[in-house]
Amino acid sequence: MTEHTPFSSFDEAKAEAFAHRLVGALNAGALSLMTSLGHRSGLFDVLADLPGATSQALADKANLAERYVREWLGVMVTSEVVAYDPTAQTYRLPPEHAAFLTRAASPNNIAVTSQFIGVAAAVEEEMLARFQDGAGTHYHHYDRFHEVMGEDSAQTVVAALIDHILPIVPGLRERLEEGIDVADMGCGGGWAMLHLAETFPASRFTGVDLCADAFDAAQTEARQKGLTNLTYTQQDLSTVEQLGTYDLVTAFDAIHDQKDPQGALDLIFNALKEGGVFLMQDIGGSRDLQVNIQNPFAPLLYTISLMHCTPISVGQGGPGLGAMWGVETAQEFLTRAGFGQIEMLRLPHDPINAYFVARP
């Protein structure tokens, strides 16, 4: 029998490489948080507008304190996001970087998504306590969740609705032009319904969400625009006996963190009119951890799941399926709700989510 100690196979080179990776992760984490700050402060937009500017000129244009702007620029230069001319002490955001960091770059502005890092970090204390007692969280624990979610889905959902998402249901655009009834479950910010209500004035739209504050801004905008074909309703889907009846029901990233995901799908199934269709977008991961090792977004998705999706469901008394409930579970739940025809698609504009077209 050969003697075996835990250290007998310690690979120095492997350990060294891992330490390097962890240092890289520290820097990447720092850069993500600073990317969020750069987006929120408008600094990336100003950098793109003023190539070759000093920190003072950038601060003046952004209406910010130069001392802090200079420190932030230190992060961006040493992370090789921003180019620096040491002689002139000026800064430049290369156009290839601006293409993923500025408001003008939307819907490809990855700085928008970086805000989830701050949202997650803000509940670290709360989650540390929840690790101990296993209880859940509630929406009031997250200062900016709905705002960031709305901004993110403005890129992945709203901007893609007409050209990428609606076409996956043949004939849907024509039906919307003629006039149908549409409801969006877990509508959050409510921007998808606002966009559709403006685009298809003959159709009628309803946004449903647990949190009225989530769709407050869209509701105000709809009122200001005089949209009479759009309503928002505050409703807990787990306590509703029956929704209205609709030709199209949508749910964008809104089933897995419900109190009762299966119950919500059952409700949706029962709310469809004859010939109706359910269009669901949800995280396109697998429930098999081993499969997710290949998913380049998996660490981010598990983090958002742990810090938000899972405890939010648990906090409502739900099962806490998490964002990585998996397309396999989604398909099983849809089948259990009664859907007989389920098609799952991946859309090129959105590498994170899967899209399901389900009919009775």
Ligand X SMILES: C[S@@+](CC[C@H](N)C(=O)[O-])C[C@H]1O[C@@H](n2cnc3c(N)ncnc32)[C@H](O)[C@@H]1O
Which residue has 């230190």 as its token pair?
74
> Closest separation between CB of residue 174 and ligand X, Å?
25
Give the angle subtended at the CA of 315 by the CAs of 311 and 321, to the nearest 5°.
Answer: 50
Amino acid identity at 17:
A
> Closest separation between CB of residue 308 and ligand X, Å?
8
Residue 98 has which token pair? 């601006």
Which CB, 43 or 188, lies closer to ligand X? 188
> Closest separation between CB of residue 47 and ligand X, Å?
28
Task: Name the CA radius of gyration of the chain, rounded.
Answer: 23
Q: Which residues contact 341 (CB under 8 A, 6 or more apart)?
A: 357, 358, 359, 360
Which CB, 181 or 253, lies closer to ligand X? 253
Which CB, 94 or 319, lies closer to ligand X? 319
| Cα within 13 Å of Cα(263), Cβ side | 13
Cβ density class 277-293: b for 16+ within 10 Å, e for less:
bbbbbbbbbbbeeeebe
> Closest separation between CB of residue 193 and ligand X, Å?
10
Which CB, 41 or 329, lies closer to ligand X? 329
d(Cα 298, Cα 286) in Å, to the nearest integer? 10
Q: Which residues contact 87 (CB under 8 A, 6 or more apart)?
A: none
Taking CB atoms, the residue at the shortest distance from ligand X is 188
Tell me if 337 sits within 8 A of 262, measured CB to CB: yes
> Closest separation between CB of residue 178 and ligand X, Å?
25
Binding site for ligand X (CB under 6 A): 149-150, 153, 157, 186-189, 209-211, 214, 236-238, 252-254, 257-259, 316
> Closest separation between CB of residue 237 and ligand X, Å?
4
> Closest separation between CB of residue 208 and ligand X, Å?
6
Which CB, 83 or 347, lies closer to ligand X? 347
- 3-state SS class at 212: helix
Which CB, 97 or 308, lies closer to ligand X? 308
Which CB, 58 or 218, lies closer to ligand X? 218
> Closest separation between CB of residue 157 and ligand X, Å?
5
d(Cα 248, Cα 42) in Å, to the nearest integer? 38
- 3-state SS class at 119: helix
Which CB, 276 or 315, lies closer to ligand X? 315
Give the angle subtended at the CA of 107 by the CAs of 302 and 59, to the nearest 5°.
Answer: 95
